[in-house]
């Protein structure tokens, strides 16, 4: 079982991420029993028979950096879990995708950062609206993850608004004017 971060604490978690292997077809790949997060292509190709599992909360969909989150717009009411993949930790498209899902498309369910997610970015993920962070299994020891929890609060009063705190600092607090 993987360890994930949710609401500032570690949790054991049994969701698995389905990634299409070379030659596998989104339309025909079989989504086995259990909790799966499937690629957007699989969801789109097999929506009819996956919809019930999504509504039951045992199937989620993940977006790649090149996917337009608006493609999920009509599905967001029934999806309880959407994930965004970070193919490389330095590929920052996922931050904009998460922001759009939350702020533009009004998605209120669970939003997970998956893939190459690094602890030094956890703070940014949360600010962009992710509520669950799922590092690759084995990437961090339990002790390291525990230490990482502390870094979620690296910056206590960020300047700009984002998904977590929509208002920028100048709207949140009264900044003193020089005497």
Q: Which residue from 24, 96, 136, 146 is in contact with another protein, where contact means CB under 8 A? A: 96
**Footprint (CB under 8 A) of another protein, residues 99-128:** 99, 104, 118, 120-121, 123-124, 127-128
* Residue from 19, 57, 30 nearest 136 by CA: 19
Q: How far is the C-alpha of 57 from the C-alpha of 78, rounded, in Å?
A: 9
* Residue from 119, 123, 120, 147 nearest 134 by CA: 119
Binding track, positions 46-85, relative to another protein; x by CB under 8 A: -------------------x--------------------
Nearer of residues 9 and 169 to another protein, judged by Cβ: 169
Q: Which residue from 8, 70, 106, 170 is in contact with another protein, where contact means CB under 8 A? A: 170
Q: How far is the C-alpha of 16 from the C-alpha of 13, rounded, in Å?
A: 9
Q: Which residue from 97, 114, 117, 132 is in contact with another protein, where contact means CB under 8 A? A: 97
**Which token pair is 113?**
């950062």
- Residue 138 binds another protein, judged by CB under 8 A: no
* Residue from 145, 29, 132, 155 nearest 84 by CA: 132
Backbone dihedral angles phi then psi of residue 86, each to the nearest 5 degrees? -110, 95
Whose tokens are 């292509």? That residue is 41
- Residue 149 binds another protein, judged by CB under 8 A: no
All residues at 6 or more sequence positions from 173 whose CB lies less than 8 Å from its CB, including other chains:
157
Nearer of residues 2 and 123 to another protein, judged by Cβ: 123
Footprint of another protein (CB under 8 A)? 65, 89-93, 95-97, 99, 104, 118, 120-121, 123-124, 127-128, 144, 151, 154-162, 166-171, 173, 175-178
């Amino acid at each position: 079982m993987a360890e994930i971060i949710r609401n500032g604490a570690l949790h054991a978690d049994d969701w698995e991420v389905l990634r299409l292997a070379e030659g596998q077809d989104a339309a025909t790949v079989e989504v086995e029993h259990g909790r799966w997060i499937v690629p957007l292509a699989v969801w789109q190709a097999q929506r009819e028979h996956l919809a019930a599992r999504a509504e039951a909360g045992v199937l989620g969909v993940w977006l790649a950096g090149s996917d337009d989150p608006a493609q999920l717009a009509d599905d967001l009411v029934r999806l309880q879990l959407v994930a965004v993949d970070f193919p490389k930790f330095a590929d920052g498209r996922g931050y904009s995708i998460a922001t759009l899902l939350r702020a533009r498309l009004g998605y209120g369910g669970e939003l997970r950062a998956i893939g190459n997610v690094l602890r030094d970015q956890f703070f940014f993920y949360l600010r962009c609206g992710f509520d669950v962070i799922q590092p690759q299994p084995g990437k961090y020891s339990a002790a390291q993850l525990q230490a990482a929890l502390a870094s979620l609060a690296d910056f206590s009063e960020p300047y700009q608004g984002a998904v977590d705190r929509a208002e920028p600092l100048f709207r949140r607090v009264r900044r003193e004017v020089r005497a």
